[in-house]
Amino acid sequence: MPVHVGTIDPGEHQCGANGTQLMGTTVQKTFIGEPIASVITICSGRKCITPPPSSTPVSLSKAAQTTIQASWIDKLARMPAIYTVDRLYAGRGFRLAERAAAGVGAKLYVLSAGLGLVDSSCQIPAYSLTVSPGHPDSISERVQGDFDPAAWFSALLRGPHSTQWANTFDHGQGRVLIALTRPYAKMIGSSLLELPQSSLARLRIFGASLSEILPNEVHCAIMPYDRRLDAITPGTRADFSQRALDHFVNSVTSDGCVQDCASDSAAVRRELALITAPQQTRRPRQTDDEILRLIRARLSSQSGIGRVLRLLRDQDGIACEQSRFSRLYRAVVDEDNLI
């Protein structure tokens, strides 16, 4: 990785090679050619390829979690791995992370509830699996007894399509960025603690209300984004973490100066300091049947899952979480295909 060292004028406020703040003296300032080594994002519930039922949890008999883990890993080994991540995953959040990685020449990885930690250059099978309860493809619904998301992810890391955390730090000395939701934080948190302290110091984590879930040892890596981000780059709760990551890449790390977590957090706070969070609209919640009727009505003149969701929120004033809406939208489309 290209590195160069330059001289800073006395009194200039800059960051040193270890990220500490240096003032009032002539020091050396270390830059790195690629300030971001890797970008890691969660997979998308939206897939460009519809998997067969045999590649979903419904194909597994209910059993203890250890049995389910072994059965799923065995199933993964037999699925044809013929898709690249950019061909399989859809959705705005995934595309934002993909764009952010490409823009700074960083390596892209995907955290998958079905595959583990996926190297974007590897081919993977079409599948559908979530750890969130109440979803048709929820693996927790197949487990008898309590479901342990951390144990599930630990098993996936030993699966045929997963790489290891250590490999995400092998692409230079820059930061490793991770976009997370709360369910994924529950799944991966404990596994991060197996990394050495030198690697943990390079982590920058993005997401909402993650400190309640992630171990204390990585709290300093959580970048302090909040609802003010919506005024900079509007979006949904589902893509909040990727929007924050994208903003960080484009607005915080552009000078290439090596920073520590505290300095990066301070830079984020400065970016948000003069921003006011947009007023939050309180939308009424509807039943599944009511939303299905609205989707059918919209599909008579509109198309596209993102466009229809936005119309329901902005014009109909309906509250509907994105993964729930995706499930209902697919149900309507599948129903139309059968007519």
| Shared-domain flag, residues 169 and 316 | no
Q: List C-alpha distances in Å: 23 to 9, 12, 143.
A: 10, 6, 57
Cβ atoms 249, 36 nearer than 8 A: yes
Average pLDDT over residues 8-30: 34
- The answer as to whether 281 is a domain residue is no
- The answer as to whether 280 is a domain residue is no
The total number of structural domains that make up the chain: 3
| Shared-domain flag, residues 155 and 213 | yes
Average pLDDT over residues 262-290: 86
| Shared-domain flag, residues 67 and 196 | yes
Cβ atoms 105, 34 nearer than 8 A: yes
| Shared-domain flag, residues 240 and 314 | no
Instruction: Say what the pLDDT of residue 269 is.
Output: 96
Residue whose pair of structure tokens reads 């419904």 in the numeric block: 58
Cβ atoms 174, 35 nearer than 8 A: yes
- The answer as to whether 282 is a domain residue is no
- Structural domain span for residue 151: 36-272
Window from 50-64, 185-199, 260-274, 285-299 with minimum mean pLDDT: 285-299
Average pLDDT over residues 106-115: 96
- The answer as to whether 283 is a domain residue is no
CA 51, chain centre distance (Å): 21
Relative orientation angle of helices 182-192 and 149-156, to the nearest 10 degrees: 60
Neighbouring CB atoms inside 10 A of 95's CB total: 17
- The answer as to whether 297 is a domain residue is yes
| Shared-domain flag, residues 96 and 153 | yes
Burial of 235 (0-12, 13-18, 19+ CB in 10 A): middle
The 8-class DSSP code of residue 230 comes to H
- Which amino acid belongs to residue 99? R
| Shared-domain flag, residues 67 and 166 | yes
The three-state secondary structure class of 42 is strand
| Shared-domain flag, residues 109 and 207 | yes
Average pLDDT over residues 294-309: 81
| Shared-domain flag, residues 47 and 163 | yes
- Which amino acid belongs to residue 268? V
Report how many helices (DSSP H) and strands (DSSP E) the chain contains, helices first.
Answer: 12, 9
| Shared-domain flag, residues 98 and 179 | yes
| Shared-domain flag, residues 265 and 318 | no
Window from 23-37, 46-60, 100-114 with minimum mean pLDDT: 23-37
- The answer as to whether 158 is a domain residue is yes
The three-state secondary structure class of 203 is strand
Average pLDDT over residues 253-266: 80
Which is higher by pLDDT, 325 or 110?
110
Instruction: Say what the pLDDT of residue 133 is.
Output: 80
Instruction: Say what the pLDDT of residue 134 is.
Output: 77
Instruction: Report residue 20 as tokens.
Output: 């500490």
Instruction: Report residue 143 as tokens.
Output: 């487990």
| Shared-domain flag, residues 172 and 306 | no
Instruction: Say what the pLDDT of residue 70 is.
Output: 97
Domain boundary at 224, 248, 272, which?
272
Between CA 137 and CA 231 the distance in angstroms is: 34
| Shared-domain flag, residues 208 and 308 | no
Burial of 87 (0-12, 13-18, 19+ CB in 10 A): middle
